[in-house]
Chains A and B, each alone.
Chain A
Amino acid sequence: MKNKLFGIIGKIKLILVFLIVFIIASCVSEYFLKFNNMVNLFDQVSAYGIAACGMIFVVIAGEFDISVGSVMCLASTTAVTLLNKTNNWLLAVGVLLVLGVVIGCLYGVLILKLNISSFIATLAGSIFYRGLAYLITKDGKPIIPESDMYGALATTRFLKIPAAVYVFFAALLLVGFVLKLTRFGRNIYATGSNGEAAKFTGINIYFYKTAAFVICAWFSILAGIMYSSRANSANASVAADAALTAMSGIVLGGASTSGGKGTVWEMFLGIMILGLLTNSFNLMGIDSYIQQVIKGALLIIFISIERYTYNKRVSMN
């Protein structure tokens, strides 16, 4: 009973915070409620948001992945280079799918078979994959896609809303469905909340955690494509704060860093709250460096609160 109460209070708290931030934002700037700004808000949030949709699998399974930004860069540079050379979209999609599987399985082996902790492994991965992206760009210069269709991927507007936003919402729906309504999703939760117990019920932890990393890689790749499509250039040096932002949104949304908890809709609220803050900071003209300080502070605060309440809950039980 008590756990359910915590869950409901948690959800209400989140919606409350969202509304408060929303109201403050609309008071602070007259441009906030304008349609263009709202659309911009969702557009800005969508790139890292898509990555977060994949990352939440890893977090629920009880691990970390901070290589999200680097995979985004690797994906975009690979895709644009391939398309520029061969103009074969099917090939590009195929290569990206395989890339996601390779990245995810590599993490699976490192973390589960060789027992490396997930943040060391993904830290090394973040350096390694970004290095690969630099290698592909040959001297760090951004690659411009030759086909006009690439830039249109994320920016074509339907009903005045860019395609990237639709992709983001589709990702949210898909991930929400899988996590809540499929056995696969339930097993991911089981793996994260108590790995040992899950093993005894016949769940193959290795498979599920590896699958989580593969899914995370796939969504990071998709996010990378959206990001580079919007900018119409593939860069090896961008998205350095992707992991930080996605993680902040996920933790703010109530997912536990020890795994087994968290839903997509709470994550969505968390991401939106952060997006609202960024949006209003931009409207208020706050320096981007100051924004960086605030973002770092927020992650520390969210993690601290989450851990503190987790410890309290554990000691109460």
Chain B
Amino acid sequence: MGKTDIKKKTNIFSRIYRDYPMLYVLIALMIIGCILSPSFFSKVNIMNIFRQNAVTGIVALGVLFVVLGGTLDMSVGSIMSVTGLLALMLQEHIGVAGAMIAAIAVGALIGTVNGLIISGINGYSGESFMVTFGMTTLLQGVALILTNGNMLLESKSKFYNFLGDGNVFKIVPFSIVLFFIFAIIVGVVLAKTKKGREIYYMGANPIAARLSGLNIKRLRVLVYVISGVMAAIAAILLTGRIHGMTPTAGKEMEFDAVTALAVGGIGVSGGEGTVIHCIIGVMIMGVIGNIMKIIGISSQNQLIIKGVVLVLAVVVDNIKKKKA
């Protein structure tokens, strides 16, 4: 008698609610979008949402590793600015491919520095927040020095433009395809590899992880390197999309990435969450942004809504945790 009761409770809908409650929020938002505009579900609009948010998505994938490990990375935006600018400026000297490799290498280098500092001071959420906050100011200054304050650097490379703006199968933006490929890789790494499990362990219970012999220092550096590399890749895509790069391009990216993760249901305290949460979060932010554009809310007013969304997402996440 007991067994059949339990079987009733775990149908697929309640399982989705238990693991990915925000999926229902995403669906609700899409319905709202359809109500507000008949062309919401048109191919053009959906592809637009993809194109606008692929960059944020790739950054979020990188920050996902850091957050799962229990810390924060508030410097991804300015890592984007610096690496994106480098990728552009080095094109004439070492070619397009060389510039891309150099940019990614710099992203990895910055990530290494972040990771070394934060692991050196035994930092968790608070300290990592301040350190990467300082780093973002520092890198922002570097980006401004690189461009001498000029606001836009033009991109002449057709290859970049394809990366950021081009389509495969005629309408699907290449950038979103890249995002999903990365997402699959990230999902496999997190769920199936030893390193992935170690990162979860470090985030969930750092003291136990250290005592059980995990090399926390190396793991910490690894997650920040991943975050830096993803930021660099995202920067290259962004360069392609806007046909250039500004020193302040990444300014709100750190906020957007963390909000996307929080909205998707990933706790900021670490140790919990999957790549699916990340994807859902990015999609929700994308749909909200699209809806706000349809309604005609100015980009400055959108800031207010984004702040509220972040708080709501974290509150809901905390309430869920309390219930469990």
Contacts and interface: CB of A to CB of B under 8 A. Distances in A.
B141 A289 contact: yes
A128 B300 contact: no
Contact of A134 (B117, B123, B138, B301): B301
A257 B145 contact: no
Interface stretch (A79-87, A89-97, A112-120, A202-210): A112-120
B137 A295 contact: yes
B318 A307 contact: no
B155 interface: no
5 contacts: A126-B307, A258-B126, A287-B145, A290-B141, A303-B121
Nearest to B255: A127
Contact of B120 (A123, A291, A308): A308
Interface in A115-139: 115-117, 119-121, 123-128, 130-132, 134-135
Of the listed residues B140, B306, B307, the one surrounded by the most CB atoms of chain A closer than 10 A to its CB is B307
Interface in B15-58: none
Given A244-B134, A292-B138, A304-B117, A64 B126 contact: yes
Secondary structure at chain A's binding surface: helix, strand, loop or mixed?
Answer: helix
Contacts of A300: 117, 131, 134-135, 138
Interface residues of A, number: 45
Contacts of B301: 131, 134-135
A27 to B, nearest CB: 26
A297 B308 contact: no
A64 B129 CA distance: 10
A314 to B, nearest CB: 10
A173 B131 CA distance: 30
Given A123-B255, A257-B130, A131 B304 contact: yes
Interface stretch (B87-95, B205-213, B309-317): B309-317
A66 B133 CA distance: 10
Interface of B: 72, 117, 120-123, 125-127, 129-131, 133-142, 144-145, 149, 255, 258, 262, 268-269, 300-308, 310-311, 314-315, 318-319, 322
A293 to B, nearest CB: 4
Given A117-B125, A125-B307, A292 B255 contact: no
Contacts of A241: 137
A10 interface: no
Nearest to A303: B130
B134 A303 contact: yes
B160 to A, nearest CB: 25
Nearest to A115: B318
A128 B315 contact: no
A135 B304 contact: yes
A110 interface: yes
A299 interface: yes
A307 B123 contact: yes
B134 A311 contact: no
A34 to B, nearest CB: 29
A248 to B, nearest CB: 8
Given A116-B318, A307-B122, A299 B134 contact: yes
